[in-house]
Amino acid sequence: PEQILTYLDGVVKVEETELKPRVGFLYPVLTHNISLFINATRERDSGQYMCTVNVVDDATGTGKNVGVINLTVLVPPSPPACQLHGTPTVGANVTLSCVSGKGKPSPAYRWHRTAPTVQVFF
C-alpha cells in the first residue's frame, strides 16, 4: 500500500506521489466526513483505496477502523483501426480486422453486413 493523504494533529499532509496535485479531503476533517477527492482521474488511479481511522488511546484493535473501496477508472475506446487483408475478388479469401488501442473494459466488436453500393461500369 502507498500512503496518499493523512490528517494528524490538525495537519493535512499529501504524500509525494503522482496523485499529490490531484487529491485532497472533500470536507474539513473535523466534520467527521472523511471523503477523498481525486481530480483528473487516470486509468492508473484504478485500485483499492483504504481509509484507516486511528483514535488516540484506543488499544482495542478490533479492525473496525478500516474502510475499503475499489476504484475502476473506465476508459472510452479509441477509434478502431480497420484493415482489409486479401484481394476482394470472386472466390478469394479476405480478412477484415478492427482493433482499438485503448478501452476499459476491453471494447467488444460486432460486425454487420450492409447492402453493396451500386457500381456503374463504363
Taking only the tens place, the pLDDT of each residue in 61-81 is 566 788 899 999 999 999 999
Tell me the whole-structure pTM to 2 decimals: 0.67
Per-residue CA distances from 21 to 25, 37, 39, 52, 93 (Å) = 12, 11, 9, 22, 54
Instruction: Indicate the domain borders of the chain.
Output: 2-71, 75-106
Q: CB–CB of 29/39 below 8 Å?
A: no
- Is a pLDDT exceeding 70 seen at residue 22? yes
**What is the pLDDT, as a whole number, of residue 62?**
61
Per-residue CA distances from 60 to 11, 54, 56, 100 (Å) = 25, 11, 11, 52
Q: Is 22 in a helix, a strand, or coil?
A: helix
| C-alpha–C-alpha distance, residues 52 and 66, integer Å | 5
